[in-house]
Structure 1
Amino acid sequence: MSASVERWLTLEGLDNVRDVGGLPLRSGGSTRPGILLRSASLHYCTPADVDHLIDVIGLKLVLDLRTPREIDRDGPTAVARAGVETVALDFLPDGGRTLPETDDDTDPMVRNYLGYLSDRGENVVAAVRLLAAPDAGPTLVHCAAGKDRTGTLVALVLDAVGVERDAVVADYALSAEQVEALFRRWTTASGEPMPDDISRHLPRAEVMTTVLDHLDAEFGENGAGGAAGWLLANGLDEESLARLRARFTAE
């Protein structure tokens, strides 16, 4: 979708960063910009990036989906040091993952994404609850690359607020355009060579389509989409869901 390209933010040390505003809603209209940004790790943010996020975007909250080990390894982000509230919500289990029961030929990435929901459902719901808080401001969500953990949470939110399914999937898959840049930054910093083949790291639309279809089958009612049903079944209250939808869709 051509409009999605316009959502990219160009910053010095921050990759795979974009606004999820401007996406078409099933009920008509589009999501509001400036509500939620998604990105890769903030580890390489420059002072100019921090100033832009705070002074131009008005960033108030960061949802950090990395593991405690990743956070300890890299230390506090420059954005957190600048005073932006940062909440860590790990999507991976401490002692390894027990994947949900699925068919043997299920795509491993589908199993991983469903695993976030089964292993750390409380953290997924906590992230959505923060986005729906009455006093919530502009928020950025990230993990390491901003494509898997971040991609799953953002897809869940977009589906729950009523974004057209094709647009939800397209936003997830859009991160594929940034994977090479991510690897170039990482390998330059570490002094390691670029991998010969990064294709297995690219987000694929059919993976998120399958995840959302699974949620539809298990939690969807009246054609409203299964993400909202999953959230309500896992502890999100109706009032928070209504506020979330209002934040993303009000003019």
Structure 2
Amino acid sequence: MHDRLIPFDRILNFRDYGGWETPHGKITRGKLFRSASFHDATEADIAKLNTMDLRFLVDLRRPEERAHEPSKWSNESCRIIFNDEGGGGHALPPHLVALMQSELTPQSTRDYMLSLYREIPFDPRLVGLYRDWFAALGEGGAGVVHCAAGKDRTGIICALTLTALGVDEDAIFADYEFTNEAVDLEARMPRIQQRIEERLGRKLDSAALKPMLGVHVDYLREALNAIDAKYGSALNYIEQELGVGASALAKLRDNLSA
């Protein structure tokens, strides 16, 4: 899995999530990328991105996140897709609001993450961006999808992408869970906690914060279970909610399989 990581100075969790075997062939490497945000990118990071021939980028962040930490990268050959409707300014995003609870515990944080994962697949703004991601994939070329940390909103659309391409569930969950290693959560925990505490103006218990900073297979399972409950399967959701019908799915598999 570590060979999927693409090292940058200040862009975290940037990796190629192609290369998996499927019944339709092996997914091509160098076409599917996932990442955390580019707000802290160095000049060297920007130069490296410029060599990657990325044709589209889908930024899943909310308006307030994009305003608070604007991306430092753009390229005239890469279409940037985002949705800033319904917000702006520097209001706290919901996950930070959740950390303002007076009785914050590891269990309350975990419960919040599970509820978040149940909601993400049905958030209208994210559904629109997920549709944009699949539409851009159908047009061909390499693309990258990211949110703030590249783990939750990004983790769900990457899992759905691999599902659409026919990757087996064990591999999908392995790709998702690899985020914990990719960002070296244990080593980065003190710095991340300090930044969150500075923004919130309060001290946090690291044990209560940890369930929000990493990923857990139960979170992704919660999202997929919510999808199954409403649509019967993730493939039905991809077709009915994200607009990827049989012909579009076949074309996607042809374009991304070696």
Q: TM-score normalized by structure 1?
A: 0.77
The residue that corresponds to 1:60 in the other structure is 55
CA-to-partner distance for each residue in 1:115-136, whole Å, 9 max, x for gaps?
1221222332222222222xx3
Distance of 2:214 and 2:223 partners within structure 1: 16
The residue that corresponds to 2:218 in the other structure is 206
Distance of 1:230 and 1:66 partners within structure 2: 22
Q: Aligned pair 1:233/2:234, yes or no?
A: no
The residue that corresponds to 1:46 in the other structure is 42
Amino acid at match of 2:220: M
Q: Aligned pair 1:125/2:137, yes or no?
A: no
Give 5+ residue unaligned stretches, structure 2. 88-92, 95-109
Q: Does the CA-based 8 Å contact 2:58-2:129 persist in structure 1? A: no
Query: Which has the higher relative contact order, 1 or 2, with Cα contacts under 8 A spaced 6 or more apart?
Result: 2
Q: Does the CA-based 8 Å contact 1:80-1:86 persist in structure 2? A: yes
Distance of 2:16 and 2:159 partners within structure 1: 13
Equivalent position SS for 1:125: helix
Tell me the CA shift for residue 231 of structure 1.
1.6
The residue that corresponds to 1:196 in the other structure is 206
CA-to-partner distance for each residue in 1:102-148, whole Å, 9 max, x for gaps?
xxxx9543432231221222332222222222xx3211111100001
Aligned residues: 228
* Pairing 1:133-172 to 2, within 5 Å after superposition: 133=139, 136-172=140-176
Q: Aligned pair 1:24/2:30, yes or no?
A: no
* Pairing 1:214-233 to 2, within 5 Å after superposition: 214-216=226-228, 218-220=230-232, 226-233=233-240
CA-to-partner distance for each residue in 1:222-242, whole Å, 9 max, x for gaps?
xxxx22210211251423222
Stretches of 4+ moved more than 4 A in 1? 180-195
Note the aligned Cα RMSD (angstroms).
Answer: 3.2
% identical aligned pairs: 30
Q: Does the CA-based 8 Å contact 1:15-1:181 persist in structure 2? A: no
Amino acid at match of 1:230: Y
Distance 1:242 1:17, change over 3 A: same
Equivalent position SS for 1:38: strand
CA-to-partner distance for each residue in 1:81-121, whole Å, 9 max, x for gaps?
6663211147x986x99xxxxxxxx9543432231221222
The residue that corresponds to 1:223 in the other structure is none
Amino acid at match of 2:206: D
Tell me the CA shift for residue 248 of structure 1.
2.4
Q: Does the CA-based 8 Å contact 1:93-1:119 persist in structure 2? A: no
Distance of 1:113 and 1:216 partners within structure 2: 13
Give 5+ residue unaligned stretches, structure 1. 98-105, 221-225
Distance 1:78 1:93, change over 3 A: closer
Distance of 1:214 and 1:196 partners within structure 2: 29
Q: Aligned pair 1:79/2:91, yes or no?
A: no
Equivalent position SS for 2:129: helix
Distance 1:181 1:148, change over 3 A: farther
Q: TM-score normalized by structure 2?
A: 0.75
Distance 1:181 1:137, change over 3 A: farther
Distance of 2:249 and 2:44 partners within structure 1: 35
Amino acid at match of 1:47: E
